[in-house]
Chain A
Amino acid sequence: MTTSPLRRNTLKLSLLTLILMGFVLSGCSGEGESWNGKDISGLMPGLEFELTDGQGRPVTADQFDGKIKLLYFGFTSCPDVCPTTLQKLGQATESLPTEAQDDVLTLFISVDPERDSPERLAAYVDFFGNGIVGLTGKESQLRQLAKRYRTTFGYEEPDENGNYAVSHSSAVYVFDREGKARLLIRPDLGVEEIRQDLIALAKADT
């Protein structure tokens, strides 16, 4: 057959492609700055929302421009995960140098608007210090925000007392001063590791 030299060439070409692919794959990892959290730059869209704050006023994301934002989904009846995480974020923020403390803001988004009224939410977040804002909204607004950050939440069937658990993301999304998505803090990260990332982010940004 006349195709045989062509075939041989294709074979060579295919081997070359395999090798090239190997290079590309190995090049994907092990470069860039080292963060303790997961670097999500470019993976997720910038911060955008329309919600309600603890005083019942409408709030949009650009009101927090200029600050580093830690976004966390939860609910005030949350038994352990939410208080632990908020406490961790509070400690990490408070251990920052004083001038940097005001630059970091935690946004606690309640995905349980049925039970978490703005007042209840305000009282809850006050417990965790100054640098934290409680936000909530209509379920449709919350769904939209959750979808934007590729997470979800769901409600359990209420028990005889009307209590129910809410499943939600366990990660903290970190946005820089311009509102760009930067880091994802997994729940297993400690206070010191979060603190290091916040300092690096605050430095890089100014």
Chain B
Amino acid sequence: MSLLDYLMPYDFSPLTVLSFMLVLGFYGVGLLRMPEEDRPGSARIVVFVLGVLICYGVMQTRFDYYSQYMFFVHRGQHLILHHLGPILIALSNPLPVMRFWYGKMGPGVKSGLRPLGWVYRFLQHPLIASFLFVGLIYFWLWPPIHFDAMLSRNLYWVMNWSMLIDGMLFWWLIFDPRPPAITSSLGYGKRILLLALVAIPQMILGAMIVFSRGMVYDVYEVCGRAWPMAPETDQLLGGLLTWIPPAMMSILGILIILRRAMREDGSFTSRSSQMGETTT
């Protein structure tokens, strides 16, 4: 197979290609048009584009073929869609670009988007957000659901998109660049708490897959693997990918938040509001 074959989608999804093109297009045009002083630096632009491209890559290249027929590649795909890609996008802080486009919107569009804002605020409640984050992993890895998702093309797309969207929501909540001392973003203590909280169930699930003796996910057995590999090895690798990298990402996230909290320490005068709800 030529290089081009590896870059072409295995299961072409016009909606997916269009969404990624729109995101990159709006980002690029926003960058060019926005005032110089608001524009993100080149490092941030590279991180953003990289985050978007790896998500696209696991959905619309040959990688997707291997994700459908190998359990451990599938786990790698979700690691990128639910963790790594959204983390990079959130860390790159595309907020100035979003603000630029928001400023360009007419009042009609803005009021039309208001229900979306309500849904967003509901989903970003820390309890809901962390429940969804862990819940979706458990849901799609629940053996009967996983079997169906790998058999049905529609379910498969719902699965991957739900992981990507939920990843974006969660990691944006965690890495929201607005300082909680002066804005309504989540307090740093709570962010750290959430990161630790979601790590534990992921570690349990990963360990359960690694140490299970039987085949938990036999759909790869039934539908044929992309290349001959012992089912136990496939499951073991998949379990490790569910277990270790997400746990490490939680710890890295905690370190990043701690560093940010230490930097901001004392730089805002209204200390009381940093305490958040304790003052209410």
Q: Which residues of A contact B (CB under 8 A)?
A: 1, 3-4, 7, 10-11, 13-14, 17-18, 21, 25, 28-29, 38, 40, 42-45, 73, 147, 150-154, 156, 165, 167-171, 184, 186-187
**Residue numbers in B under 8 Å from A44 (CB-CB):** 151-152
B279:A170 contact, CB within 8 angstroms = no
Q: Are A43 and B148 in contact (CB under 8 A)?
A: yes
Q: Does B34 contact A (CB under 8 A)?
A: no
- List 14 other contacts, CB 8 Å, given A7-B277, A147-B11, A169-B223: A1-B277, A3-B280, A4-B280, A10-B122, A14-B122, A25-B139, A43-B152, A44-B151, A152-B69, A152-B223, A152-B224, A167-B224, A167-B227, A167-B228
If A10-B122, A11-B127 touch, whether A170 touches B224 (CB-CB below 8 Å) is: yes
In the complex, the chain A residue whose C-beta lies closest to that of B226 is A152
Contact A40 B144 (CB under 8 A): no
Kindly report which residue of chain B lies nearest to residue A25, judged by CB atoms.
B139
Q: Which residues of B contact A4 (CB under 8 A)?
A: 277, 280
B234 close to chain A: CB less than 8 A: no
- The count of A-to-B residue pairs whose CB atoms sit within 8 angstroms is 78
Task: Tell whether A150 pairs with B150 under 8 Å between CB atoms, given A10-B122, A11-B125, A21-B135.
Answer: yes
B42-76 CB mask vs A (1 if < 8 Å, else 0) is 00000000000000000000000100110000000
B268 adjacent to chain A (CB < 8 Å): no
Is B228 a contact partner of A171 (Cβ separation < 8 A)? no
Report the nearest B residue to A186, measured CB to CB: B222
A142 vs chain B, min Cβ distance (A): 13
B221 at the interface (CB under 8 A from A): yes
Contact call A171/B145, Cβ cutoff below 8 A? no
Which residues of A are found within 8 Å of B148, using beta-carbon distances? 43
B128 to chain A minimum Cβ distance, whole angstroms, is 5
Q: Which residue of B lies closest to A172 (CB)?
A: B222
Of chain B, the residue at the smallest CB distance from A181 is B151
**In the assembled complex, B110 has its CB within 8 A of some CB on chain A:** no
Q: Is B211 an interface residue (CB 8 A)?
A: no
Could you tell me if A10 and B125 are in contact, using CB atoms closer than 8 angstroms?
yes
Q: B145, A28: Cβ atoms under 8 Å?
A: yes
Q: Give A25 to B142 CA distance when docked, in angstroms.
A: 11
A89 to B260, CA, bound (A): 65
In Å, the complex CA distance between A91 and B273 comes to 76
CB distance from A139 to the nearest CB of B (A): 13
A interface majority secondary structure: loop
CB distance from B29 to the nearest CB of A (A): 35
The 6 closest A-B pairs by CB, nearest first: A43-B152, A151-B223, A171-B222, A1-B280, A169-B224, A14-B128
Task: Among A43, A153, A165, point to the contact of B224 (Cβ < 8 A).
Answer: A153
- Answer yes or no: B6 CB below 8 A from chain A CBs: no
CA distance A14 to B127 in the complex (A): 7
In the assembled complex, the CB of B279 is this many whole angstroms from the nearest CB of chain A, namely 7
Residues in chain A near residue B128, CB distance under 8 A: 14, 17
17 contacts between A and B (CB under 8 A): A1-B277, A1-B279, A7-B277, A11-B125, A13-B122, A14-B131, A18-B131, A28-B145, A43-B151, A150-B150, A152-B224, A152-B225, A167-B224, A167-B228, A168-B224, A170-B221, A184-B222
Instruction: Say yes or no for B99: interface residue by CB 8 A criterion.
Output: no
Q: How far is the CA of A4 from the CA of B280 in the complex (A)?
A: 7
**B122-147, CB under 8 A of A: which get 1 and which 0?**
10010110010001000100001101
A41 → B minimal CB distance (Å): 11
Q: What's the Cα separation between A175 and B225 when bound, in Å?
A: 23
Find chain A residues with CB under 8 A from B153 CB: 45, 150
| B2 smallest CB distance to A (angstroms) | 16
Mask for B61-104, Cβ within 8 A of A = 1, else 0? 00001001100000000000000000000000000000000000
Closest Cβ of chain A to B241, distance in Å, is 21
Taking a contact as CB atoms under 8 Å apart, the answer to whether A150 and B279 are in contact is no
Closest A residue to B151 by CB, please name it: A43
* Alpha-carbon distance between A147 and B153 when the two chains are bound, in angstroms: 10
Closest chain A residue, CB of each to CB of B152: A43
Task: Please tell me if B7 contacts chain A, counting CB pairs below 8 Å.
Answer: no
Nearest residue (CB) in A for B156 is: A150
B218 pairs with A186, CB closer than 8 A? yes
Contact B225 A167 (CB under 8 A): yes
Cβ contacts under 8 Å, B155 to chain A: 43
Q: Which residue of A lies closest to B144 (CB)?
A: A29
